[in-house]
Structure 1
């Protein structure tokens, strides 16, 4: 009986060996053959650096000087060449996983047949895979099928078909790659738990070292983990990790790569991993820290909007050199925090800075009083306060520059012409205002507006009106100019996303919403229609606004009317160092250069005595030519300051990011609080202007003070 069983086993062994050899030496037909060929091509291509699916790498975001500020990744991996891995690491892995690695040609026939017989006969499941085969399997699991659970399951099936496929690819690899390349390839794709992949990342994360400096003890721990990373995690399971490391040391002794005496000495050593590890950078913009995180977030948002997928961004191994000036960003953050405490509940103070130019508008700083990060209790936020349409209650009278620009362009008025500024005015271009405004047509009320304070003369030049900001003067200009050109001017000068968003939340218009404010874009909501001449409240800046876009408006005016997208991108290179183009919107002459230059002159008095920002300018000893415009919304719930010199343009905004309804009280630098109702006292000349001047005065310190452009006589006076 025993002899019969032995003969049957031998016969089965021969038949199975024949199947394996036939399956490996000849192409497999049908679906298995196609899959095998595809996987083979993919792995071989990866080995030569030409893969359609190369291993995911870390993308690095840097400042404009090339200093890293953040890393983005799905798998923390540092690519490592064969000669950058210590012999101790290599022999530890070979000893525990494939001691005949340098003897076989991709498949260990004896082990494979033994495992196949055991598996098919119902015995204990055995692997018997060589490192070459494991390289194939790990590459499929961690690279090709990393986002495909079903594919990962297929790559690990305990079946003859899968083993045939894996063995066939392994044999092909051995004809095209050296043993050292295969070993390094495996060590570059294998997982070491906690999103750490490859020996380069593991050496850094576990021991704060490089792969070429890994010791026997360190290499043994990592080699042992490759079999089951979560089970042997040295922080979660230190006892099991120690047992596994010591097992690898014993295997090294058996393989004559380590003396028994040294092995016993090393076994007595602690694991030696970094405390409270692993030591790896954050996988997203949180890694940029509280100061640079907002800029990093804008870089990510910008690239996603311009065609790069998030998967590519987080796996492509790109180096993204940004336009961020770290000194300017630091000073902007410092100034924002000086004005509003970072822990102040429901108060956000932002500053966005852009470099003017006729070929590019580079973003140099994005800052807020709040820190960037996930810990709300520590005052942190991951919402893009300085760049997104985050101020939903508006930028106030800073919008008067759009009314003025449209009126000047249309020949309604010149910057030195007289405009009327009565104490109050009832406009006929606004519908829906509550009483006491009178009816001007069936179901339509006028827009009743008064000036924010008394003491204005009944008339003044447009330049003086921009300096002192009477409300009635600009509502009257709206009537004379028409709302269409004014809302169009806002978009042309730079509020592109802002004007395309809805007028209630700043999000995309919802065609199914009942409320017009949500259903329509801001351009549609405030502009004229068949039933309405438009809404005159637009000039008082009552709708959601992006601080970055507001800064870019100033950059457009200071660039001779040339609009460019506010870009955070200096250069992008791929994992091979080759440039990666990104399709950005081309710059355009948004308004005539003469008009832009004339508006610069028209806006050049706000920092001087009598101007709404004069006190803030005086507080830092400001003495440079500039443009400026303040703004404050109803109930003093938000405020803004837009300003620019020929070198830098920017916008500061203070607002309530969480509960928008209510006011802000400014008790001086560092003492701004949110209050209920309409008891606020905030103005654009206070916190926003002080934030702008506090940062920009230091940024430009020691630099020349170039003059502003000259106005065009065509736009100075009508006729």
Structure 2
């Protein structure tokens, strides 16, 4: 009796709460909490799905933590509303947030040892579900507290519910509840449930469908229609009976509906993938770059996956398809340990928009089917390098330093031992009693000298090591950074990952810029021009875009526009474009790179096979043992880079047996026959030729006499 008297006092205090407020019922702090919580429910929507689209606004992926489709009150069928009210809160339209008659009855029953009763109104359930599914969705302890069977918790819930009813209409509360509650399997809200369970919209939910969904909210896991169809049917029929009791359904109709099957979609719920896997094998790599880009530009993962944004990307679906098709034509998608990628960037002096990111591999989680979720085209995934494509930076540095011009002759001996760069290995000659020089040989026969333009087209190794000596390594590595290898040059030289300052190996503890550049008495490492270090294919493509943009570097962006759940623009802070090198230098470098696809240029065979007939710039590259190779090229309209490499076991050779017949050799000391003019060049031309079909054949810029 004493306990019941105390309980009665507490309940009376709850009833009087709206009147007395902070004047003695609860502390000011608790009052503020209640006010804040009720405001949150009235004003702050729950987590929503972020939609990623192509440049035309067509969705390609959804990102979410909770699958939820926001639904307004007038978008929910009357059948759904009355099914829920009938089974959960038949006096919903009569009370002011708390059904005190039911609450007192349940409290007395629970306190006196009878059957446990809930007696929560839909408004109170809205409060509890909001706490569980929104506020504490990642907090197990918070979720437990939100469900405690205590009078204190119930009273706080009641106070919030009463406040809520002063801020929201009954229809808003009902819709709010139906937007926040879970219907099992991470499906939240009636909009998502209608689609996932019945492949329909909430305004079209009929009585039987509504009864099943309304019955589920009591215990979603137990009443899951696929795992427990019998229990789900029982519960649905129970709701139909409650609708009859509440005079919202005739008994005859209820009996007829009870005999109908549940009617859910077969094979489980119909809901989209919650991450970039949903973009599919072709578009997944682009979606992954969008996510990586936004996370590195100030957006948190929680914001991205709960914010309900619409992210219109710069992806050109046709370009992405052609890139994927070309990459896969050259290397089979299931070929073990061979990745073939193509990244395309649109040049410009205001923006460098990424239009395609593709690989021979499909994007996805099934490794046995050749799938991967590694960002092969955009990340620093090629750890063995892109070979002689780095000679672009040496040539640009030589032009910048006035060492040579594009039409001046440079030395190209068959072999060369540098007396500037040292430590080349046991096979290199000693330059004095204590020091071994850095030696390099050409891969083929070359005349003893040629113009820089000819050297860029035919790629003699010795010529560019000599140019490195003359220009200085600082200028060369700085040029790589300026033209576009920003993330690449700030990664470590061992595996392209973050710098590890405490690592004993300099390849891990220094940036590539530091590792290859001059330091103290060391003039730097001459091997840099041979492209021996980890490289991002996307950044390499952006190098070509910078050259074709008159030397203007812009960040390679995948973002056209972001809007929030209300349709308002969301700005992101991107790096500003900058004049990386003088326009005359960039234009002259472009002319210097314009002969790779013709004559005895290293990509001439691939260009001829593709029927290429446009002005372009290009440069091939191949690494030690023919274990990776690349081709970088551009026209005024489009820039791109193709790379073929061993993603899993980097060391060893690659064999090019023609399109669709590329394999990785076993053993770290194997030597292949891969070159940049083979698989990579064929991949580039295979996509670019049809992509530019019908567009004007624009000329390259004119060179500047200062750099000729």
- Answering whether residue 536 of structure 2 is matched by residue 546 of structure 1, we say yes
**SS state of the match for residue 652, structure 1?**
strand
The aligned residue for residue 144 of structure 1 is 135
Shift of 1:177: 1.9
The aligned residue for residue 122 of structure 1 is 113
The aligned residue for residue 670 of structure 1 is 660
Alignment of 1:72-221 (within 5 A): 72-221=63-212
Does the aligned pair in 1 maintain the 2:38–2:163 contact within 8 Å? no
1:431-473 CA-partner distances (Å, limit 9, x unpaired)? 432112133467642111100112x101100000000001010
**SS state of the match for residue 380, structure 1?**
coil
Please give the alpha-carbon distance, in whole angstroms, between the structure 1 residues aligned to 2:706 and 2:284: 45
Please give the alpha-carbon distance, in whole angstroms, between the structure 2 residues aligned to 1:521 and 1:441: 31
| Structure 2 CA distance for partners of 1:417 and 1:190, relative to 1, 3 Å | same
The aligned residue for residue 458 of structure 2 is 468
Runs of 4+ that moved beyond 6 A = 29-32
Shift of 1:21: 2.5
Corresponding residue to 1:299 among 287, 290, 296: 290
**SS state of the match for residue 298, structure 2?**
coil
Q: Which runs of 5+ in 1 are unaligned?
A: none
Please give the alpha-carbon distance, in whole angstroms, between the structure 2 residues aligned to 1:134 and 1:428: 80
Corresponding residue to 1:681 among 664, 673, 680: 673
The aligned residue for residue 370 of structure 1 is 361
- Answering whether residue 380 of structure 2 is matched by residue 389 of structure 1, we say yes
Corresponding residue to 1:697 among 681, 689, 699: 689
**SS state of the match for residue 421, structure 2?**
coil
Name whichever of 108-117 and 296-305 sits farther off: 108-117
Shift of 1:17: 3.7
Shift of 1:124: 2.8
Please give the alpha-carbon distance, in whole angstroms, between the structure 2 residues aligned to 1:104 and 1:63: 48
Please give the alpha-carbon distance, in whole angstroms, between the structure 2 residues aligned to 1:13 and 1:404: 86
Shift of 1:31: 8.2
- Answering whether residue 497 of structure 2 is matched by residue 503 of structure 1, we say no
Please give the alpha-carbon distance, in whole angstroms, between the structure 2 residues aligned to 1:405 and 1:74: 47
Shift of 1:23: 4.7
1:94-113 CA-partner distances (Å, limit 9, x unpaired)? 01000111111111111111
Shift of 1:523: 0.7
Does the aligned pair in 2 maintain the 1:32–1:165 contact within 8 Å? no
The aligned residue for residue 413 of structure 1 is 404
Does the aligned pair in 1 maintain the 2:631–2:684 contact within 8 Å? yes
| Structure 2 CA distance for partners of 1:514 and 1:432, relative to 1, 3 Å | farther
| Structure 2 CA distance for partners of 1:61 and 1:696, relative to 1, 3 Å | same
The aligned residue for residue 303 of structure 2 is 312
The aligned residue for residue 523 of structure 2 is 533
| Structure 2 CA distance for partners of 1:441 and 1:374, relative to 1, 3 Å | farther
Does the aligned pair in 1 maintain the 2:41–2:164 contact within 8 Å? no
| Structure 2 CA distance for partners of 1:598 and 1:165, relative to 1, 3 Å | same
Shift of 1:175: 2.3
Please give the alpha-carbon distance, in whole angstroms, between the structure 2 residues aligned to 1:433 and 1:122: 86
Please give the alpha-carbon distance, in whole angstroms, between the structure 2 residues aligned to 1:212 and 1:44: 28
Please give the alpha-carbon distance, in whole angstroms, between the structure 2 residues aligned to 1:202 and 1:393: 48
Does the aligned pair in 1 maintain the 2:38–2:161 contact within 8 Å? no
Corresponding residue to 1:21 among 15, 29, 49: 15
Shift of 1:178: 1.6
Please give the alpha-carbon distance, in whole angstroms, between the structure 1 residues aligned to 2:11 and 2:289: 59
**SS state of the match for residue 702, structure 1?**
coil
Shift of 1:223: 0.4
| Structure 2 CA distance for partners of 1:312 and 1:13, relative to 1, 3 Å | closer
In angstroms, what is the RMSD of aligned CA positions?
A: 1.6
Alignment of 1:344-359 (within 5 A): 344-359=335-350
Please give the alpha-carbon distance, in whole angstroms, between the structure 1 residues aligned to 2:522 and 2:164: 73
- Answering whether residue 322 of structure 2 is matched by residue 331 of structure 1, we say yes
Does the aligned pair in 1 maintain the 2:4–2:108 contact within 8 Å? no
- Answering whether residue 39 of structure 2 is matched by residue 44 of structure 1, we say yes
Does the aligned pair in 1 maintain the 2:18–2:163 contact within 8 Å? no
Alignment of 1:316-715 (within 5 A): 316-440=307-431, 444-454=435-445, 456-676=446-666, 677-715=669-707
Q: What TM-score do the two structures reach when normalised by structure 2?
A: 0.97
Please give the alpha-carbon distance, in whole angstroms, between the structure 1 residues aligned to 2:25 and 2:556: 54
**SS state of the match for residue 612, structure 1?**
coil
**SS state of the match for residue 371, structure 1?**
coil
| Structure 2 CA distance for partners of 1:533 and 1:180, relative to 1, 3 Å | same
Please give the alpha-carbon distance, in whole angstroms, between the structure 1 residues aligned to 2:429 and 2:25: 82
| Structure 2 CA distance for partners of 1:363 and 1:302, relative to 1, 3 Å | same
Please give the alpha-carbon distance, in whole angstroms, between the structure 1 residues aligned to 2:30 and 2:580: 55
| Structure 2 CA distance for partners of 1:128 and 1:596, relative to 1, 3 Å | same
Does the aligned pair in 1 maintain the 2:41–2:127 contact within 8 Å? no
**SS state of the match for residue 36, structure 2?**
helix
1:275-301 CA-partner distances (Å, limit 9, x unpaired)? 112101000000000000000000000
**SS state of the match for residue 503, structure 1?**
coil
Please give the alpha-carbon distance, in whole angstroms, between the structure 1 residues aligned to 2:465 and 2:315: 39
Name whichever of 501-510 and 110-119 sits farther off: 110-119
Please give the alpha-carbon distance, in whole angstroms, between the structure 1 residues aligned to 2:690 and 2:188: 44
Shift of 1:35: 4.3
Corresponding residue to 1:277 among 224, 249, 268: 268
- Answering whether residue 53 of structure 2 is matched by residue 58 of structure 1, we say no
Please give the alpha-carbon distance, in whole angstroms, between the structure 1 residues aligned to 2:111 and 2:423: 80
Name whichever of 265-274 and 487-496 sits farther off: 265-274
Shift of 1:681: 0.1
Does the aligned pair in 2 maintain the 1:363–1:567 contact within 8 Å? yes
Please give the alpha-carbon distance, in whole angstroms, between the structure 1 residues aligned to 2:581 and 2:627: 32
Shift of 1:13: 6.5
1:121-179 CA-partner distances (Å, limit 9, x unpaired)? 33332210001111111111111221222222221111111111111121122222221
Does the aligned pair in 2 maintain the 1:397–1:630 contact within 8 Å? yes
Q: What TM-score do the two structures reach when normalised by structure 1?
A: 0.96
Please give the alpha-carbon distance, in whole angstroms, between the structure 2 residues aligned to 1:16 and 1:425: 93
The aligned residue for residue 267 of structure 1 is 258
Does the aligned pair in 2 maintain the 1:23–1:164 contact within 8 Å? no
